[in-house]
């Protein structure tokens, strides 16, 4: 557990939100506001085929007829959808490019963020250290994707969504919107109309993806939203592990991030999807600024014995509203959801999962750890349901909340529906306050108050941290510490 | 070593310590005995700096240095260790991780180099063997699901690992059977040295059969009302605290 010590040391040397810098680069913007012409503009910018444009316009029509949902336990002023840019991209030609063509300013951003974009830098790392391929999305577009060639050798397609639409239209048309339909919900529908980029992964039958894949999302431009779309398909008997990371500059206005992630697993395939979300959380005192993170993530375990595992560490955003879900369609398919959601300052999070058991003998497991500090509010909202045909469905849910201080709130809202008599669902939930007694005990042994909080919190979230790929677990542990800095006062 | 003079302390605005004076020189073991509610645990918390225990007058120094001005962790780094009457459970944090983090925090505060992993493990194995603690237990979350006796033994293990200079044992004998008491006492006695001092807080004389004190003090009504040699503990065992309760 050297990481604990490391956490403790790092925290001392870090500021509150270290990713809050802005990069000054020339950008292409679509005119502010949203209408059918903007949708056409985005599609044209990306050189899309007619079918894609039609799909977007259809989504836009539907979106106009929808109302913004208000059932989540979060409060925010009405969003003016006309006061935002729906497309912002570094000024450069569209299309695949080599790293040498990427604006050095952008490369500098990723360097600052510690994201390796140069393959040789990754390769030059410690021998035997796990490597991972990166797709870097800067505002609305993907700027570079690494290790594409090496992945192509085993048949794995890893590229930006724009490129996939051009190069692999048959796959995109078959799967896009098949897990999250166009008009699934307000924000997903908006995303379908204006999504700008994202990552696309296809793993062919029987292939175990030789490295971790990851996408790193960065919002840089002012008054812009980010609407990325990610589609991952794991064909029969394949395996892929994928990680998503996010940061944004500190800005006074709220920025909307409405992403859609669709996962499809065929027979015996497995996708492990991890997220370390660290969007700017807004000013801790006033609550001003920060990202609205309204994301739809869903997996369709289409094949028998297929498996999807969601792991998320949510520390940023002023408002988080997301429920990575699994539709357990295939017989004996299984879904897992491991979550750490931390809110501090004035942050609000309403997050959880849905496990929809459709096939026979499907299994799901939910471990959720919510930590609230400051004046924040943290809600777990989850649904576990079993269809009449889902005989022998099993679920285990464990939902723990930890309160730090006296002005924060934690809520747990589980929905459980078993529509057959042969399902077995278990739900355990606890809410505890970080106790003064425990803190004093640790301090009496020599830990400072801050170190004591970190040690106790790390203990609380351990079950979830160990689900993350090793190198990200260390990163996430540091993030947990930073997010809670100054939370005990 | 420890010098407490005219110490007054309140908890929730209620005065518990009312002018306590006590000197524990290096190399000595002093026992504090007294009836329930006399302020025994309050004394241990005031000396270690627990929140909510407010000193209103008087002072306490360790080797001449003002203890009361320091944070709890700073006092720990100076070598003050409290063996808790009710040790806390720390879910998800293995005992070894907890102790190593604490040890290194102390070392860092003292400007010493951190202990390396092999050194730490070697030390832990040796101390665990002395205290007859199953090493696998140290890989489990600290005190979670441990029996009362195991928790107390774990306190002494932490003490042995951290090697403090001034030790406070708060009702360490409660909840221990005779065998466990002997092991714990052996662990404590192993730490007796001319450079260390100990304050043994206990309600019963029993523990003092195993950890022989140099001096025995009676704490009643927030003050030391009588002091004497080891024979005082035996007298208390025979006659009880009634006369002191009245005096207070």
> Does B92 contact A459 at a Cβ distance shorter than 8 Å?
yes
User: What pLDDT, in 10s, does the model give residues B198-219?
Assistant: 999 998 888 899 999 999 999 9
**In the structure, what pLDDT confidence band is assigned to residue A25 with cuts at 50, 70 and 90?**
low
Which chain A residues are Cβ-neighbours of B94 within 8 angstroms? 1
Which candidate in A444, A461, A467, A488 is best for mutational testing of the B interface (most B CBs within 10 A)? A444
Q: Which of B51, B101, B103 sits opposite A436 (nearest CB)?
A: B51
Q: How far is A452 from chain B (nearest CA, A)?
A: 9
Per-residue pLDDT, averaged over A35-56, amounts to 90
pLDDT band at A419 (very low <50, low <70, confident <90, very high): very high
Q: Does A451 lie at the interface with B, CB-CB under 8 angstroms?
A: yes
Residues B31 and B233: beta-carbon distance below 8 Å? yes
Contacts of A5 in chain B (CB under 8 A): 100-101, 104
What is the model's pLDDT at position B175? 80
Chain mean pLDDT for chain A:
82
Candidates A436, A447, A458; nearest CB to B105: A447
Supply the pLDDT for residue A287: 74
Interchain contact, B51 vs A449, CB within 8 Å: no
The answer to which of A19-28, A81-90, A283-292, B209-218 has the lowest mean pLDDT is A19-28
Decide if pLDDT at A24 tops 80. no
Contact B90 A458 (CB under 8 A): no
Residue A14's pLDDT band (cuts 50, 70, 90): very low
pLDDT at A129: 42
What gap in Å lies between CA A90 and CA A27, rounded to an integer? 4
Asked if B185 has any chain A CB less than 8 Å from its own CB, the reply is: no
Residue of A447, A451, A460 lying closest to B91 (CB–CB)? A460
Which has more confidence, A117 or A53? A53
What is the CB neighbour count within 10 angstroms for residue A272?
Answer: 20
Chain B: give the shortest CA distance to residue A477, in Å.
Answer: 14
Q: What is the pLDDT of residue B72?
A: 96
Q: Is A127 exposed, middle or buried (0-12, 13-18, 19+ CB in 10 A)?
A: exposed
- Least CB–CB distance from A441: residue in B49, B88, B141: B88
- How would residue A91 be classed by pLDDT, with cut points 50, 70 and 90? low
CB contact under 8 A, B104 and A5: yes
Contact list, B84 vs chain A (CB under 8 Å)? 441, 444
Residue A119 has pLDDT above 60, yes or no: no
A489 at interface of B, judged by CB pairs closer than 8 A = no
Cβ contacts below 8 Å, chain A against chain B, sum to 93
Question: B116: which chain A residues are within 8 Å (Cβ-Cβ)?
Answer: none
Partner B contacted by A441 (CB < 8 A): yes
Three-class SS of chain A: CHHHHHHHHHHHHCCCCCCCCCCCCCEEECCCCCCHHHHHHHHHHCCCCHHHHHHHHHHHHHHHCCCCCCCCCCCCCCCCCCCCECCEEECCCCCCCCHHHCCHHHHHHHHHHCCCCCHHHHHCCCCCCCCEEEEEEECCEEEEECCHHHHHHCCCEEEEHHHHHHHCHHHHHHHCCCCCCCCCCHHHHHHHHHCCECEEEEECCCCECCCEEEEEEECCCCCECECEEEEEEECCCCEEEEEEEEECCCCCCEEEECCEEEEEECCCCEEEEEEEECCCCCCCCCCCCEEEEEEEEEEEECCCCCEEEEEEEECCCCEEEECCEEEECCCCCEEEEEEEEEECCCCEEEECCEEEECCCCCEEEEEEEEEECCCCEEEEEEEEEECCCCCCCEEEEEEEEEECCCCCEEEEEEEEEECCCCCEEEEEEEEEECCHHHHHHHHHCCCCHHHHHHHHHHHHHHHHHCCCCHHHHHHHHHHHHHHCCCCCC
pLDDT value of position A97: 53
Question: CA nearest B144 in A: which residue?
Answer: A459
| ipTM score | 0.96
| Cβ within 8 Å, pair B101-A441 | no
B42 in A contact zone (CB under 8 Å): no
Residue of B nearest to A460 (CA): B92
Residue A114 CB partners (closer than 8 Å, separation 6+):
none
Does B163 contact A at CB distance below 8 Å? no
Q: With bands split at pLDDT 50, 70 and 90, how would you rate the model's confidence at A82?
A: confident
Q: What pLDDT is recorded for position A6?
A: 44
Position A113 pLDDT exceeds 70: no
pLDDT at residue number A223: 59
Nearest to B72 among A8, A438, A440 (CB): A440
Q: What is the mean pLDDT of residues A285-312?
A: 90
B105 contacts A451? CB cut-off 8 A: yes
Sort out which chain B residues have CB atoms less than 8 A from A456's CB and list them.
90, 93
- The answer to whether B93 faces chain A, any CB pair under 8 Å, is yes
- List, for residues A229-282, the tens digit of each pLDDT value: 999 999 999 999 998 876 655 556 677 888 999 999 999 999 999 888 777 777
Which residues, other chains included, contact A62 with Cβ-Cβ below 8 Å and sequence gap of 6+?
Answer: A182, A183, A189
Tens-digit pLDDT profile for residues A316-355:
778 888 999 999 999 999 999 999 888 888 888 899 999 9
Q: Which residues contact A320 (CB under 8 A, 6 or more apart)?
A: A277, A293, A314, A341, A343, A347, A348, A349, A350, A351
Strand pairing class (A157-160; A239-247): unpaired
Residue ranges, chain B, pLDDT below 50: none
**Per residue in A358-405, pLDDT tens?**
999 999 999 999 989 888 899 999 999 999 999 999 999 999 999 988
- Write down the pLDDT at residue A417: 93
- The model's confidence at residue A461, banded by pLDDT at 50, 70 and 90, is confident
On whether any CB of chain A is under 8 Å from the CB of B105, the answer is yes
Query: In percent, how much of chain A has pLDDT > 90?
Result: 40
Nearest-by-CA chain B residue for A2: B97
Q: Between chains, do B105 and A448 touch, taking CB under 8 Å as contact? A: yes
Residue of A72, A78, A69 lying closest to A349 (CA atoms): A72
How far is Cα B44 from Cα A402, in angstroms, rounded to an integer? 29
User: Looking at CA atoms only, how far is residue B104 from chain A in angstroms?
Assistant: 8
Predicted TM-score (pTM) of the model is: 0.80
CA distances (Å), origin A70, targets A67, A95, A382 = 9, 39, 17
């Amino acid at each position: 557990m050297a990481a604990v010590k490391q956490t403790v040391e790092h925290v001392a040397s870090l500021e509150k939100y270290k990713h809050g810098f802005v990069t000054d680069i020339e950008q292409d913007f679509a005119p502010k506001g949203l209408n059918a012409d903007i949708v056409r503009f985005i599609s044209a910018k990306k050189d899309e085929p007619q079918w894609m444009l039609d799909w977007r316009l259809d989504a836009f029509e539907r979106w106009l007829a929808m109302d913004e949902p208000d059932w989540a336990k979060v409060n925010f002023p009405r969003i003016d959808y006309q006061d935002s840019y729906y497309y912002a991209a570094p000024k450069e030609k569209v299309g695949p490019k080599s790293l040498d063509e990427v604006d050095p300013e952008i490369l500098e951003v990723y360097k600052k963020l510690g994201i390796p974009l140069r393959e040789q830098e990754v390769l030059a790392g410690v021998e035997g250290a796990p490597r991972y391929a990166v797709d870097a999305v800067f505002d609305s577009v993907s700027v570079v994707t690494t290790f594409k060639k090496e992945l192509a050798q085993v048949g794995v397609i890893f590229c930006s969504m724009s490129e996939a639409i051009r190069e692999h239209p048959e796959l995109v048309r078959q799967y896009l919107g098949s897990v999250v339909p166009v008009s699934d919900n307000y924000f997903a529908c908006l995303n379908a109309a204006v999504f700008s980029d994202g990552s696309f992964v296809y793993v062919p039958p029987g292939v175990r993806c030789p490295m971790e894949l990851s996408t790193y999302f960065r919002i840089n431009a002012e008054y812009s939203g980010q609407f990325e779309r990610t589609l991952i398909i794991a064909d029969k008997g394949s395996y892929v592990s994928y990680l998503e990371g996010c940061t944004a500059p500190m800005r006074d206005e709220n920025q909307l991030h409405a992403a859609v992630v669709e996962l499809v697993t065929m027979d015996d395939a497995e996708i492990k999807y991890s997220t370390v979300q660290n969007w700017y959380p807004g000013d801790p005192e006033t609550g001003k600024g920060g990202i609205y993170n309204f994301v739809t993530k869903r997996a369709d375990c289409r094949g028998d014995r297929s498996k999807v595992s969601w792991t998320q560490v949510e520390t940023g955003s002023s408002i988080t509203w997301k429920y990575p879900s699994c539709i357990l369609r295939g017989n004996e398919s299984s879904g897992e959801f491991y979550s750490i959601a931390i809110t501090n300052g004035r942050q609000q999070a309403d997050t959880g999962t849905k496990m929809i058991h459709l096939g026979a003998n499907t299994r799901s497991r939910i471990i959720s750890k919510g930590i609230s500090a400051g004046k924040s509010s943290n809600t777990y909202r989850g649904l576990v349901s079993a269809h009449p045909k889902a005989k022998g469905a099993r679920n285990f849910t464990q939902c723990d909340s930890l309160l730090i201080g006296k002005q924060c709130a934690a809520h747990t809202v589980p929905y459980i529906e078993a529509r057959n008599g042969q399902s077995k669902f278990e739900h355990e939930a606890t809410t505890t306050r970080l106790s003064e007694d425990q803190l004093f005990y640790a301090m009496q042994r020599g830990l400072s108050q801050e170190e004591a909080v970190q040690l106790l919190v790390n203990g609380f979230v351990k079950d979830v941290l160990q689900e993350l790929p090793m190198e990200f677990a260390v990163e996430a542990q540091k993030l947990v510490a930073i997010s809670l800095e100054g939370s005990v006062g | 070593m420890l010098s407490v003079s005219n110490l007054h302390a309140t908890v929730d605005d209620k005065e518990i310590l009312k002018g306590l004076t006590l000197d524990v020189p290096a190399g000595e073991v002093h026992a504090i005995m007294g009836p329930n509610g006399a302020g025994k645990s309050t004394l241990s918390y005031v000396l270690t700096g627990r929140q909510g225990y407010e000193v209103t007058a008087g002072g306490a120094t360790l080797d001449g240095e003002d203890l009361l001005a320091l944070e709890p962790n700073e006092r720990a780094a100076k070598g003050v260790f409290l063996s808790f009457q009710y040790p806390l459970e720390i879910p998800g944090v293995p005992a070894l991780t907890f102790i190593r983090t604490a040890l290194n925090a102390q070392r860092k505060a003292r400007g010493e180099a951190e202990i390396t992993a092999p050194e730490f493990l070697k030390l832990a194995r040796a101390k665990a063997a002395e205290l007859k603690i199953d090493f696998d237990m140290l890989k489990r979350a600290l005190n979670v699901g441990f029996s009362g006796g195991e928790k107390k033994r774990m306190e002494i293990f932490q003490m042995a690992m951290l090697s403090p200079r001034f030790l406070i044992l708060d009702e360490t004998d409660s909840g221990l059977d005779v065998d466990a008491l002997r092991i714990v006492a052996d662990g404590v006695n192993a730490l007796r040295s001319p450079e260390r001092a100990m304050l043994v807080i206990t309600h019963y004389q029993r523990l003092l059969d195993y950890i022989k004190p140099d001096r025995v003090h009676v704490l009643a009504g927030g003050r030391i009302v009588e002091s004497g040699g080891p024979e005082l503990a035996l007298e208390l065992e025979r006659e009880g605290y009634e006369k002191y309760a009245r005096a207070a």
